[in-house]
Amino acid sequence: MRKFSLLFFFCICSTLVFSQLKSHVDERFELTSIVFRLAGADEYNNNQVKSYISDIDDYFAPFKEHPLIRYVKEIREKDEVAYDAVSGITFQLVIRGNHIDLSPQSDKAAFLQSEPRWKNESMDKFIKLLNHFYKETKFKVFFSRHQDLYSTAENRFDGLLQTIHEEWFQSFYGEPLGNPAIYLSLCNGSSNYSMNAYSKDNSSNYGIVIGCSRVDKDGIPNFILAYSEDNKPYYDNKKIRVIIHEFSHHFSNPLVTKYEQEMNVAAEKMFPYVREQLAKYAYNDAKSILFEGLNELFVNTYFWEYKNPDSYNIYDDENRGFVWMRRAIRFMNNFYENRIIYPYIKGFMPQLVSFINTSGNHIDQIMDEYNHSFPYVVNVFPGINTTVSADIKEIRVDFSHPMIVGIGINYPENLNGILPQKTATSYWSKDMKTLIMPVALEKEENCNINLSKGVFQSFENFPMKEDFEILFKTAEK
């Protein structure tokens, strides 16, 4: 794993390049997001910008039974028009004057071919009803009233965008990032999407829409976690990862599409094992293993190259259903060790095809590795439910895996127990598998220590599945 991180110098082009990327709160995306919110879509009802959402609900309350809202409920139920199907069609629309229509440059047939959830009839009817809704609600008035909020959100988000290493896309994919449209949506909550403009002139315009899931004390979108002593902002690494993920889809999707038929059998073999995990993230078919999983692998290389381990978490990826991710990370060492042969990832794709196919053939073994990745307590001294001398100076807990430094000890839930008094800071053995807690015990005590599953994690960031409770007594003498 360390080898992987040290090889990044080979593929980064010269010095850092400061991004000129800019975000925009777009009227089209606020419109369709609000429409699907009114229709009760869960993914558009998980919002954090509470004052804005309150304004939406108040302003549009008289229109909750509008024909458009009823129709959206129908196609959502019948054709599963949801999530990125909404952003996909929104990107094809234009607002001219007080009228909404399909962009004159949009290739409708190409869009429908790429997005089976939309049908020719449903697309036409949706746009027609959307146009009526836009006019009848005087949506432009609502949108104009919130320009100050939109501008503040844009300015804050643009600061985060300056941290993006645009040069990586040229280095890794062999293509520049270009000039993607970046939309910030205050009604998307935690949802984020990538989309293409299917143009008649075959131009490769693309964009991303990013939701606002973090706000400041005033309820305004905020993307800064903290400030350093010299007032340097620390931006939300998870949001940066989302942006790289959505940008990367523009480059990774064509690569995966090219080799999709060669990997389909393997994906279908793996899918039953991870169906439930994938479904939690609205990944509902085996294709997600290929298109989302391989894209996530590529995103991981971005953060390894720029030494940002806070945004690299094997557990998160494997917990979402990409259970082969740690194997894939190791396999990517071969790409970095052979950059003269494989200057860009597209040349290495046949090797990744073989990797996926091998993973499909060994999915039982991979699932066994995954299930045994969660650390657990192996031994405890003093032993659970034993009575020991109060002269014991240390409590020792052995874990199954090397652990990270974090320690989380909760006060006992058992009212008859006490948390032993510490005599020094708890520390780890050299192999990071044993936690040593120096204590001063009193005679005739019921001792109770609860180890928190959310804090105790392995080196690969896998948490304990359950809290672990330590109970013992001290003797009278």
Q: Is 55 exposed, middle or buried (0-12, 13-18, 19+ CB in 10 A)?
A: middle
Q: What angle do CA 214, 217, 220 make, to 5 degrees?
A: 55
List pLDDT tens digits, range 255-283.
999 999 999 999 999 999 999 999 988 89
List pLDDT tens digits, range 84-108.
999 999 999 999 989 999 999 999 9
List pLDDT tens digits, range 410-431.
655 555 678 888 888 889 999 9
Say how many C-beta atoms besides its own lie within 10 A of residue 269's C-beta.
Answer: 18
DSSP H helical segments within 146-286, as ranges? 147-161, 167-173, 237-279
pTM for the structure as a whole? 0.84
Token pair for residue 159? Answer: 């600061």
Residue for token pair 């974090």: 406
Domains of the chain: 2-235 (no CATH), 238-371 (no CATH), 377-474 (2.60.40.1220)
Please, which pLDDT band fits residue 237 given cuts at 50, 70 and 90?
Answer: confident
Residue for token pair 């960031």: 461
List pLDDT tens digits, range 395-411.
999 999 999 877 777 65
